[in-house]
Amino acid sequence: MDETDRWRHMAVAPKDGRRILVTIRPSEQGAAEVDLAYWSNGDQFGPEGWRASDSSPGRLVEYAEPELKCWMPMPTANLGGSSMPSPWEGDDAQQLDGTGI
């Protein structure tokens, strides 16, 4: 597995606006899933925080910190592979790539 294809703690996720993949925790609304998200410093449309990349002015999809389990950089194009990795299914106590410190 390529080094970029590893799930990492949200504590070390980049907050510079670049798009990343995130695992959304399972909830009563459904199973864990992967989404494309970015950190927004806030604007006239909403406060600072994580937003789904398909958000638009007036239709923000925002994630609270506890909703997001881990992240990984956008993978390089792999025409023979799947379009999205599987969500992180491990226990929170398991070590993800990075310490989160």
For residue 85, give both structure tokens: 């990795």
Query: pTM of this prediction?
Result: 0.70
Give domain status of residue 41, yes or no. yes
Q: How confident is the model at residue 1 (pLDDT cuts 50, 70, 90)?
A: very low
Q: What is the mean pLDDT of the chain?
A: 82
* Structural domains of the chain, count: 1
Neighbours of 21 (CB within 10 A): 20
Tokens 């638009």, residue located:
56
pLDDT surpassing 80 at residue 78: no
Give domain status of residue 93, yes or no. no
Give domain status of residue 46, yes or no. yes
**17, burial (CB in 10 Å: exposed 0-12, middle 13-18, buried 19+):** exposed
Give domain status of residue 31, yes or no. yes
Quick: pLDDT tens for 29-54: 889 999 999 999 977 777 789 999 98
Task: Print the domain residue range for 58.
Answer: 3-73
Give domain status of residue 40, yes or no. yes
Beta strands in the chain (DSSP E): 8-9, 20-24, 33-40, 49-52, 62-63, 68-73
